[in-house]
Amino acid sequence: MSTPSHSAQAAGGAGRPGGWLAAVNLIARWLERRERLDALFDTLPAGLVGAERARCQHLVFGVVRHFGRLESALGRLIAHPPRFSTRAVLFVAGFELIESEGTPEAEGIAAKVVHHAVEQTKTLASAAEARLVNAVVRKLILALAGAAPPKGVAATAADLAEYFSHPEWLVRMWIAQFGAEATRSLLEWNQQPATVYARWRATEEPVPDFLKPTAWAGFFEVESGKWTKVEPLLRSGKLYLQDPGTRLAVDLLAPQAGETVLDVCAAPGGKSLVIGDTIKTGKVVAMDLPGARIDRLKANLARANGVEVALVQVDVLLEPVMALREHKLPESFSAVLIDVPCSNTGVMRHRADVKWRLQEGDFKKHPKQQLALLHAAARLVAPGGRLVYSTCSVDGAENDRVVAEFFNSRAGGPFKLESKVQSLPWVTGHDGAAAFLLRRS
């Protein structure tokens, strides 16, 4: 939760409405079209920088993170929803109220939230809608004042879903998988703003003092207010924004110096870069579909130091061997990583809109694609070689069950499962992920 002073600034505007208005505009678009947040943020004006840009992102993430609770409360107060711009004002004001909960300044912040929302609506919409906003936000203060479902009491999935703003079907699925107590812990984890982590790549140089050490070697916490110091390090390649959860799959693969390693489904390239930094000498072959993320993959591969890199743009489900031959690369590898597309249920802190895009059917569709990709990657593993299958999902349907299905097929015969690792974020303290090490006999 942000500090009271931040909430007060967000409510009152402090004479700088840029970030607040930008957030309202993005939320209006999100409510109307359900665009991905990363795509929405890409549309922000270049002139919106520094504290105001951060403020906009904070408000947008906050609204989307708490959307279910806000939507339920507003639905009980408004019979006919107003235009999207006015609705966005209500959602942003609602998040500001949630953010101030439990603080000594909550009452004063609430008054500022009401005043600011009303004044802005007069410009964004009309005087009539400003009166509506005035009435609704005042009632919203009480509507959002309910406490969280008490711990130790068997709260229903519906109660947990509404308060912690997750689809009810997803909460039910997690309760069946993890139990009620662990599910609540996961919901609480997802509702907190994401910590920004970075990996220090310039290992021959001392780590700057402003990077906060963590429990995970090489990873540091980037605290707020340090961005002007961080940006030059990112541009130089000395620092790379990355969650510690990403290390699990590469650590399990244990790439060796001088080895040629294949990274399938490599975009955007964060794990390819970790592999390169780990082996220091050798070659990283990054394979992925042609598409929008290839440019970012190329940029990350260009940051690799001391290793050769090769980019193979091909669908691994079609003719990867032919593409490897065209690039004069090996047709099989001693080390293969495949980090498959998944539901992203382990990274919902970072990707707050994922839970509103997911459908129940995705947990049948994704495993079918993941199994096909695992089969395709297995064909590229040399005898005695290692294959790591990984996801950023916490769900068994995309992890253990996919690997079990692989071993139930003829293709699994030459392989043995040597080890696996899973991160449950409310336990590990970083993003959720799973990785399985398979070795070909």
- Residue 250: which of 384, 373, 375, 421 has the closest Cα? 421
Q: What is the pLDDT of residue 152?
A: 66
- 9 pLDDT above the threshold of 50: no
Q: What is the pLDDT of residue 67?
A: 98
Residues 391 and 296 in one domain: yes
pLDDT tens digits for range 252-294:
999 999 999 999 999 999 999 999 999 999 999 999 999 989 9
* Residue bearing the bigger pLDDT, 349 or 16: 349
Query: What pTM does this model have?
Result: 0.92
Instruction: Return the residue matching tokens 């930094």.
Output: 277
> Considering its fold, how many domains does the chain have in total?
4
Is there a domain that residue 269 lies in? yes
Residues 180 and 219 in one domain: no
Residues 176 and 263 in one domain: no
- Residue 338: which of 298, 416, 398, 279 has the closest Cα? 398
Contact of 225 with 299, CB cutoff 8 Å: no
Q: What is the pLDDT of residue 365?
A: 97
Instruction: Give the long-range contacts of residues 318-322, CB within 8 A, separation 24 or more.
Output: 320/287, 320/376, 320/380, 321/380
Is there a domain that residue 152 lies in? no
Is there a domain that residue 57 lies in? yes
Omega of the bond leading into 232 within 30 degrees of 0 (cis): no
Residues 58 and 125 in one domain: yes
pLDDT tens digits for range 53-106:
999 999 999 999 999 999 999 999 999 999 999 999 999 999 999 999 888 999
11 is written with which tokens?
A: 């409510």
Ranges 10-24, 125-139, 166-180: which has the least confidence: 10-24
Q: What is the pLDDT of residue 151?
A: 78
Residues 338 and 210 in one domain: no
The whole-angstrom separation of Cα 100 and Cα 348 is 22
Residues 83 and 213 in one domain: no
What one-letter code names the amino acid at 226?
A: K
30-47 b/e (C-beta count within 10 Å ≥ 16 → b): bbeeeeebeebeeebeee
Three-state secondary structure of 63-126: HHHCHHHHHHHHHHHCCCCCCHHHHHHHHHHHHHHHHCCCCCCHHHHHHHHHHHHHHHHHHHCC
Helices (H), 191-293: 227-236, 247-253, 270-279
Residues 13 and 92 in one domain: yes
Residues 137 and 106 in one domain: yes
Is there a domain that residue 235 lies in? yes
Is there a domain that residue 229 lies in? yes
Model confidence at 2, pLDDT cuts 50, 70, 90, reads: very low
Q: Any catalytic annotation for residue 392? A: yes
The whole-angstrom separation of Cα 214 and Cα 200 is 12
Q: What is the pLDDT of residue 168?
A: 97
pLDDT tens digits for range 402-430:
999 999 999 999 999 999 999 999 999 99
Q: What is the pLDDT of residue 12?
A: 38
pLDDT tens digits for range 315-358:
999 999 999 999 999 999 999 999 999 999 999 999 999 999 99
> Which residues span the domain enclosing 71?
4-143
Q: What percentage of the chain reaches a pLDDT higher than 70?
A: 96
Instruction: Return the residue matching tokens 């270049």.
Output: 46
Model confidence at 148, pLDDT cuts 50, 70, 90, reads: confident
**What is the three-class DSSP state of 41?**
helix
Residues 249 and 236 in one domain: no
Is there a domain that residue 148 lies in? no
**What is the three-class DSSP state of 330?**
coil
Q: For residue 42, what is the domain's CATH number?
A: 1.10.940.10
Residues 293 and 417 in one domain: yes
Give the mean pLDDT of 200-216. Answer: 97
- The CA distances from residue 338 to 116, 176, 254, 405, in Å, are 49, 28, 14, 16
Is there a domain that residue 149 lies in? no
Is there a domain that residue 166 lies in? yes
* Residue bearing the bigger pLDDT, 365 or 103: 365
- 361 pLDDT above the threshold of 70: yes
The whole-angstrom separation of Cα 155 and Cα 211 is 40
Model confidence at 145, pLDDT cuts 50, 70, 90, reads: confident
- Residue 55: which of 98, 20, 102 has the closest Cα? 20
Residues 308 and 384 in one domain: yes
Q: Which of 56, 265, 342, 392 is catalytic?
A: 392
Q: What is the pLDDT of residue 50?
A: 86
Contact of 334 with 382, CB cutoff 8 Å: yes
Q: What is the pLDDT of residue 153?
A: 67
Q: For residue 366, what is the domain's CATH number?
A: 3.40.50.150
- 17 pLDDT above the threshold of 90: no
Model confidence at 155, pLDDT cuts 50, 70, 90, reads: confident
Residues 328 and 274 in one domain: yes
